[in-house]
Amino acid sequence: MSETTDLSRAPEAMIADMGRRARSAAGRVAALPPGAKPKALVAAARALRDAAPEILAANEEDMAQARTAGLSAALLDRLMLDEERVANMAAGVDAIAALPDPAGTLIEETERPNGLKLSRVRVPIGVIGIIYESRPNVTADAAALCVMAGNAVILRGGSEAARSNRAIHAAFVRGLEEAGVPTDLVQLVQTTDRAAVGAMLTADGAIDLIVPRGGKSLVARVQNEAKVPILAHLDGINHVYVHASADPKMAAAIVVNAKLRRTGVCGAMETLLIDCDYPASAELLRALTDGGCEVRGDAAARAIDPAIATADAADWDTEYLEAIASVAIVDGVDAAIAHIAAHGSHHTDAIVAEDEAVANRFLATVDSAIVLWNASTQFADGGEFGLGGEIGIATGRLHARGPVALEGLTTYKWVGRGTGQVRP
Amino acid sequence: MSETTDLSRAPEAMIADMGRRARSAAGRVAALPPGAKPKALVAAARALRDAAPEILAANEEDMAQARTAGLSAALLDRLMLDEERVANMAAGVDAIAALPDPAGTLIEETERPNGLKLSRVRVPIGVIGIIYESRPNVTADAAALCVMAGNAVILRGGSEAARSNRAIHAAFVRGLEEAGVPTDLVQLVQTTDRAAVGAMLTADGAIDLIVPRGGKSLVARVQNEAKVPILAHLDGINHVYVHASADPKMAAAIVVNAKLRRTGVCGAMETLLIDCDYPASAELLRALTDGGCEVRGDAAARAIDPAIATADAADWDTEYLEAIASVAIVDGVDAAIAHIAAHGSHHTDAIVAEDEAVANRFLATVDSAIVLWNASTQFADGGEFGLGGEIGIATGRLHARGPVALEGLTTYKWVGRGTGQVRP
């Protein structure tokens, strides 16, 4: 059975109590004057800057323990804070404070024949849970996005970053307090007991939405155990399809960027689909290998360039997150769409083509959160989409898809204004 | 343990297979020409009219069995079909066919500084599961809404209506077939084995969203067992707050309508909150009792009218769905808001007031899917909201709140159109 079954009452009672305080704080935020939320975030950013020495000292302790525990260089880099990273974290909070407040905005307005005026108005979701791993900057970043949308947030970071997270949280809350905003808006789970994660995942009623931020095993655990709704993506098995009509220079630039700009991000291309009628296949494969990418092809791709490795069945379903790409030769846009339907993860898929009808067919039919025409998959990012940041990228089908930022952290209510209408 | 644990493989395999066929059919719908969906629904409505004799014969068998089983008069009435009800069912399908198609509509469009044109476009959710009880008209109604939004649907009706549902489903699918639309778009779970419900609830990946339609025990089971996201409401513990500034004639008309127009609907008022400064409390209570309503009051209400019964603690949390109302006297709008926060079910709550500032405070602060000012709670209905019907009313916080119709049966995708943009 899962861990949640073995929970002592303690973590569940703790999360329930945090949830109650979060709900109460969120309710009080609704009554604050306009401008209170950005003001509080600016104060939080200032408090983060002021607390840089404490934050860096706490981080040094986390780093020392992580080195002793033998964490990989990549994990140590994610955990590490320096003055510049603290400054960037504070600047990120300031940037979120400058975004338009989504709460209270009007989605639509109608008047019914009986004179009842109906509107749909954006409101905060309520209590958001964030479960994340080593990066301590998520503490400030996620808190700022949740607060700006009017939500309360319960943060649960990785145990390896516990001291850093506590120092960042303490500073953030100091800023809220100075601004006269309820400090229970931003709560940090202080225990490193993993059972607390299980308690959050089953706290339906206390927590309205959970966003996991981290590696695949964290997201998989959250998806398996959660009773609370979640927004997440497990994989980014993203495709670029190069159509016969593609401009070869553009195709090579997009494919190389999509695969190699950063190989570890969820928007990176993992599989290249080349149309069998595309005239510059050999050059395209060479552009990848010249860029330092290992290419694993199907038989048709290997016929074009015998030097590349052979892809096996598992390659089409693999998110490498490395300088490796699988390549298949496909016969027409519908074959590309079928390959993506069979192997994709509904994250981000792109077509390179000059033929607009073919591109529109791809954009309409590929069932992914993000579909792109003549652009790199690496644009899959809330900042690049103009959202001012992101709490994560969602590949589920409900509530919000793709990059989720302030709007995705809201819901709506129906408001009806009448003059005494009764229903006949 | 729950029933799902004891499932034989059979129901799970059956639902998985239905899900695969549904997904495939939904994919083919995306490629149909515009107008194909409404045309198919008009054909389905015609087929329902043509099949009226078979549907009524099947319903007569269900009714005979239900009478033998001793079902209540209310349940028998829900199950019963006659010529008029079949005609209304077909007319309902025609009405849904006349609604604007939500799929493909543009939500927003921007151009990024790098020239990338980004839009968010409505798309169908995919595969919807509907789990419902005795009313056989849901078979046609839910199928029509799901298909109009471009989804495939897996229907699981109550065992008492099995023959009626099969006849309605057979006719509906005949219509789809005549119109050249994949018949797997509308599938009916043919077995009355309750394990099939458990298999639907845990079919995440195969079914994208489940909407339960029925009584509280069905909805509670679905909420407890579902791994698939659901849209539902468990309770409609709705309040009307009559402020001191309320117009007495309007207050009485709204309260009587909210409680007594139909007592069995989820939008009915269950608790009346009267401000202690409202000058016409006695008349208001009398209007309810004169209308045939049993009134259960707190001490202050009983001081106004000693003839009314005493409310106990459970009354404030009870959805009567009968001609019974609980009444509390509250001191000001904030006390009303606090009562609703403590006892409401986030469904529909109304204020009667002439004071606009007080009304706005109520509308902004009460955390319900629907909040109304000077209008009856019985307007909580997709048809009354101009949505052309509803698949249900949702009191959760994500994706869709309040009456859910075509738009709530869609999601969106991000579509980016570039000219070769790569990310720096």
CB contacts of B123 in chain A (<8 Å) are 367
Say if A119 is an interface residue toward chain B (CB within 8 Å). Answer: no
Contact B335, B298 (CB under 8 A): no
Q: What is the pLDDT of residue A33?
A: 86
Q: What is the pLDDT of residues B185-194, one digit of tens each?
A: 999 999 888 8
Q: Which two tokens stand for residue B411?
A: 């999601």
What integer is the mean pLDDT of B276-302? Answer: 97
Other beta carbons within 10 angstroms of residue A13's beta carbon come to: 12
Residue of A nearest to B417 (CA): A373
Is B392 a member of any domain? Answer: no
One domain, residues A213 and A281: no
Is A394 a member of any domain? Answer: no
Contact A251, A280 (CB under 8 A): yes
Say if B345 is an interface residue toward chain A (CB within 8 Å). Answer: no
- Determine the 3-state secondary structure of A382 from DSSP: coil
Q: How many residues does chain B have?
A: 424
One domain, residues A225 and A257: no
Q: What is the pLDDT of residues A149-206, one digit of tens each?
A: 999 999 999 999 999 999 999 999 999 999 999 999 999 999 888 899 999 999 988 9
Q: What is the pLDDT of residue A6?
A: 39
Q: What is the DSSP letter of A235?
A: -
**Residue B4 — pLDDT band, cuts 50, 70, 90?**
very low
Global pTM reads: 0.93
One domain, residues A64 and A101: yes
**Residue A4 — pLDDT band, cuts 50, 70, 90?**
very low
Q: Which two tokens stand for residue A147?
A: 């607060």
CB contacts of B253 in chain A (<8 Å) are 420, 422
Is B144 a member of any domain? Answer: yes
* Cα–Cα nearest to A231, from A123, A135, A302, A146: A146
Mean pLDDT of chain B: 95
One domain, residues A191 and A316: no
Beta bridge partners of A412: A122
Q: What separation in angstroms does the CA of A414 have from each of A28, A399, B105, B369?
A: 20, 17, 21, 6
Residues B269, B238: Cα–Cα separation, whole Å: 5
Candidate from A253, A372, A416 with C-beta closest to B372: A416
One domain, residues A205 and A279: no
Query: Chain B window 12-71: which residues touch A at a Cβ cutoff of 8 Å?
Result: 27, 30-31
Residues B174, B156: Cα–Cα separation, whole Å: 19
Alpha helices (runs of H) in A274-392, residue ranges in sequence order: 281-290, 299-304, 333-343, 356-365
Other beta carbons within 10 angstroms of residue B34's beta carbon come to: 9
Q: What is the pLDDT of residues A199-248, one digit of tens each?
A: 999 998 899 999 999 888 999 999 999 999 999 998 999 999 999 999 99
Q: What share of chain B is helix, strand, coil (3-state, %, to 5)?
A: 45, 20, 35
Q: What is the pLDDT of residue A13?
A: 93
In the predicted structure, residue B9 carries a pLDDT above the cut 70: no
What integer is the mean pLDDT of A378-398? Answer: 94
Contact A409, A149 (CB under 8 A): yes
Q: Quick check: B422 and A384 CB within 8 A?
A: no
What's the number of domains chain A is made of? 2
Say if B165 is an interface residue toward chain A (CB within 8 Å). Answer: no
Kindly report the CATH number assigned to the domain that includes residue B364.
3.40.309.10
Is B339 a member of any domain? Answer: yes
Helix (H) or strand (E) holding B403, with range, is strand B402-404
Contact A251, A352 (CB under 8 A): yes
Mean pLDDT of chain A: 94
Candidate from A30, A104, A376 with C-beta closest to B423: A376
**Residue B389 — pLDDT band, cuts 50, 70, 90?**
confident
Say if A242 is an interface residue toward chain B (CB within 8 Å). Answer: no
Q: Quick check: B30 and A125 CB within 8 A?
A: no
One domain, residues A246 and A197: no
Q: Give the β-pairing of A392-394 and A402-404.
A: antiparallel
Instruction: Annotate B107-138 with DSSP letters as a single string.
Output: EEEEE-TTS-EEEEEEEE--EEEEEE-S-THH
One domain, residues A215 and A254: no
Q: Which two tokens stand for residue B332?
A: 């000001």
**Residue B10 — pLDDT band, cuts 50, 70, 90?**
confident
Say if B339 is an interface residue toward chain A (CB within 8 Å). Answer: no
Is A162 a member of any domain? Answer: yes
Q: Give the β-pairing of A348-352 and A238-242.
A: parallel
Residues B263, B268: Cα–Cα separation, whole Å: 6
Domain that holds residue B301: 238-384
Q: What share of chain A is helix, strand, coil (3-state, %, to 5)?
A: 45, 20, 35
How many beta-carbon pairs under 8 angstroms link A with B?
183
Q: What is the pLDDT of residues B46-98, one digit of tens each?
A: 999 999 999 999 999 999 999 999 999 989 999 999 999 999 999 999 999 99
One domain, residues A8 and A95: yes
Residues A179, B306: Cα–Cα separation, whole Å: 50
Say if A226 is an interface residue toward chain B (CB within 8 Å). Answer: no
One domain, residues B176 and B255: no
Is B267 a member of any domain? Answer: yes
In the predicted structure, residue A361 carries a pLDDT above the cut 60: yes
* Cα–Cα nearest to A44, from A134, A129, A146, A131: A146
- Determine the 3-state secondary structure of A349 from DSSP: strand
Q: What is the pLDDT of residue A9?
A: 57
One domain, residues A40 and A131: yes
* Cα–Cα nearest to B248, from A98, A420, A117, A265: A420
Q: Looking at CA atoms only, how far is residue A397 from chain B in angstroms?
A: 6
At residue B42's C-alpha, the angle toward residues B36 and B48, to 5°, is 135
Q: What is the pLDDT of residue B3?
A: 36
What integer is the mean pLDDT of A275-303? Answer: 98
One domain, residues B372 and B410: no
Candidate from B125, B364, B418 with C-beta closest to A397: B125
* Cα–Cα nearest to A61, from A189, A190, A160: A160
Q: What separation in angstroms does the CA of A220 have from each of A129, A283, A380, A393, B34?
A: 16, 38, 21, 15, 39
Say if B412 is an interface residue toward chain A (CB within 8 Å). Answer: yes
Is B421 a member of any domain? Answer: no
- A235 phi and psi, to 5 degrees? -130, 155
Q: What is the pLDDT of residue B32?
A: 86
One domain, residues A52 and A176: yes
Q: What is the pLDDT of residue A5?
A: 36
Beta bridge partners of A373: A351, B417
In the predicted structure, residue B165 carries a pLDDT above the cut 80: yes
Q: Looking at CA atoms only, how far is residue A43 from chain B in angstroms?
A: 26
User: In this structure, is the dihedral angle defined by the CA atoms of residues B76, B390, B395 and B380, taken in order, positive or negative?
Assistant: negative
- Where residue A255 falls (left for φ over 0; alpha for ψ -120 to 50; beta otherwise) is alpha
Q: What is the pLDDT of residues B344-357, one digit of tens each?
A: 999 999 999 999 99
Q: Looking at CA atoms only, how far is residue B188 from chain A in angstroms?
A: 23
Residues A155, A281: Cα–Cα separation, whole Å: 48
What integer is the mean pLDDT of A391-410? Answer: 95
Is A389 a member of any domain? Answer: no
Q: Quick check: A376 and B422 CB within 8 A?
A: yes
